[in-house]
A and B are shown apart, each in its own frame.
Chain A
């Protein structure tokens, strides 16, 4: 087994050497260096196109999905080797996609065979860009209070309502969307629907954020016709799908806390802060804060490893992803407060080339949403106290 894995590793190394262009091993310069695929996709460079197509053809955009659904059919151990080898050369992700991160896992779990073959292949090949229609104005973390209504018209629904915080809705081709189909049952009256954003009656409006960017949109549905077969799971039981998907989303958001790099906060700022005669950072209070943060980062990384080990083998408490989400996002907010302190006045730059168009400041501002999106920290704490600690009260 391990010998086969080593052979696989050599094979991957050779393949990466031949197929991953040098430009795709450089850190991204701005947010739009990410390739999102979709009908309206444009490649930023020849290298980006070549890298994406090479991965797509091997099934490496979703290496652990079955081949029939566009993946490479790799085992968990092989997938790990692939990711390690890609990380070793700092290869960029060939495709960013809510289809891969969120909808795909839900379809693998709840989709019909036809849906899997059709939608998963599209996702794996980056042909359709998806967005997520969960939040609504006034519902926020109380997701289940959503009002968007799908009226049953026999062979189709007519959907009316408004979504908010729909990431990249203005750039998406299709939406996976929670729609109320039974007003008499709060939890068992929601259907998980899929439909084309070009359907008549769909419109979007970007929301400018404090970070100066607008990845989020308001999305409006005005008598949108959705065919009756475009739902996942069971009609009125969409909450089951939504919860499953949220688990994945929280996993993804919480991973941000541990950070992709192994560089400690203090080591990162050793140069800009300068060191005293003892080789310590020049600002003792900031040094202490960074050391405390590093303890928490290394500790959280161990937690991430344990969480994944337990999650994959069914040992984790079903609500433990709420704990990961809570701790990871609070940690990531702390990280960017330190980034701003460590970079001093240079971190304030908003529009210069050297600052990569104010990447630090914009990311710092963006992280403030980490403990709001996907359920607030307060909601996570409610879930932990009720479901894990089993504390009393409604």
Chain B
């Protein structure tokens, strides 16, 4: 790659035959009124279909008494009343549970991914293939498949004999180790040139220091991928918070929405206020780390 770039001779000029029509598969052309209009219409429909339902959550949450039969994109009677009712129903407690679990779960997941990824990528040791096999095998053991026995294990941890149920650890620990995160970190660390690490070693840096001060700062793109997939994955948890909870007050906000819906005394607006709160954190993370997300999705899919 670098060799090809280095010899950047002036290219022979090719005759330009309206090449912009070959930029996209459908041959969209910029600046032509007819196609531009068509394209605008297409974009409007797509926005309505995919972003519309999300926008109705926001509009309904701030609408005094939204009619479940007539959703709109703009609140008719703007008010914060829904949030006041949702507060009475303890929505902030569930929100806090979710934030705590997502925050600590993600932190732990990153630590585990960095340490395990480092060991896999930068060290050679006996049994490396077996460890890798174990990590890959866990991808075939999704939480749904082990949910029933996991409920038993969470109630009485083997060997240590303590019960995690009802504590945030019952959700944090099962989501803390993710084979996907470990493999992303390992793949990225493998590409860090040896020379940099060698230079630091000669300077007398310890292994831990090399990991934290040299390798980690170079892994920022991978950390972004791990962070966004980790956060969205943990925030999306539904089954695990149910089986890990002792009481309904232990629920994450995703699960609490269903009980809010079942409450006949609250209306659609309060439910949407809860949905709005459950929506905001993942939205923020998505907007902050968008590029990592695209990188993560495409690296996982195109490479294979």
Pairing of A with B:
no
Q: Which A residues are closer than 8 A to B by beta carbons?
A: none
